[in-house]
Amino acid sequence: MKTVLKLFARARDLAGSPALELDLPDSATAADLRIALGERVPALEPILSSLLIAVGNDYAAPTTPVAGRTDLAVFPPVSGG
């Protein structure tokens, strides 16, 4: 399924883009998304394991379904304040 995600901060810089579109199996979870993202954008490898995944305005668990969503975001640990 067509799945759209935004990228922020160093993840955006490494990917060279603020957004990506992936084709994921219907059963894909956030854990699957992380693997697919590493394959699609090898430059993300140094920070891949620490990337956070959000569905809408909530952080996803590894088991959260993500296939077909267009409101995903992927970014490194936050540093506001």
Partner 1 sequence: MIQLTHTPIDFAALTESVRSTQAGAVVLFLGTVREMTQGRQTVALDYDAYPEMAEAKLKELEAEARARWPVIEAGIVHRLGHLELGDVSVAVAVSCPHRHQAFDAGRFLIDRLKEVVPIWKKENWSDGSTEWVHPGTGEAAELSG
Please report, as ranges, the residues that interact with partner 1 according to CB under 8 A.
6, 8-10, 13, 46-47, 50, 52, 54, 56-57, 59, 73, 75-81
With respect to partner 1, which residue has the nearer C-beta, 13 or 23? 13
Q: Compute the 3-state secondary structure of the chain and give helix, strand, coil in percent, each to the nearest 5.
A: 35, 30, 40
- Would you say 18 or 25 has its CB closer to partner 1? 18
Q: What is the DSSP letter of 70?
A: S
Pick between residue 50 and residue 63 the one whose CB is nearest to partner 1. Answer: 50
Q: Which of 35, 38, 37, 27 is nearest to 5 (CA)?
A: 37
Residue 66 CB, shortest distance to partner 1, in Å, is: 15
Q: Rounded to the nearest whole angstrom, what is the least distance from the CB of residue 37 to partner 1 in the complex?
A: 15
d(CA 63, CA 81): 30
